[in-house]
A = this chain, B = another copy of it.
Amino acid sequence: MTDLDDIDHSLLRLLRQDARRTFSEMAEKVGLSVAAVKRRVDRMRDLGVITGFTAQIDYAKLGWGIEAFTELRYAGTAPVSEIIRTATVAPEVQAIYTTAGDPDALVSIRARDMRHLQQVIDTLRRAGNVTGTKTLMVMDVWTRSDMDPTTPTRPLSPTRPTPRTP
Contact of A164 among B53, B84, B159 (CB under 8 A): B84
CA distance A47 to B42 in the complex (A): 32
Contact of A138 among B50, B97, B123, B161 (CB under 8 A): B97
Q: Tell me whether chain A's interface is mostly helix, strand or loop, or mixed.
A: mixed
How distant is A1 from chain B, measured CB to nearest CB, in Å?
5
How distant is A54 from chain B, measured CB to nearest CB, in Å?
5
Q: Which A residues between 123 and 166 are near B, CB-CB below 8 angstroms?
A: 123, 127, 136-145, 147, 149, 152-153, 155-156, 158-162, 164
Smallest CB gap from A160: residue in B: B91
Give the residues in chain B near A49, CB-CB below 8 Å: 57-58, 61-62
Interface size on A, residues (CB 8 A): 78
Question: Does A76 reach chain B (CB closer than 8 Å)?
Answer: no
Evaluate whether A140 and B98 lie within 8 angstroms (CB atoms) in the complex, with A62-B4, A64-B149, A110-B149 already known: yes
Q: Is the CB–CB distance between A61 and B88 below 8 Å?
A: no
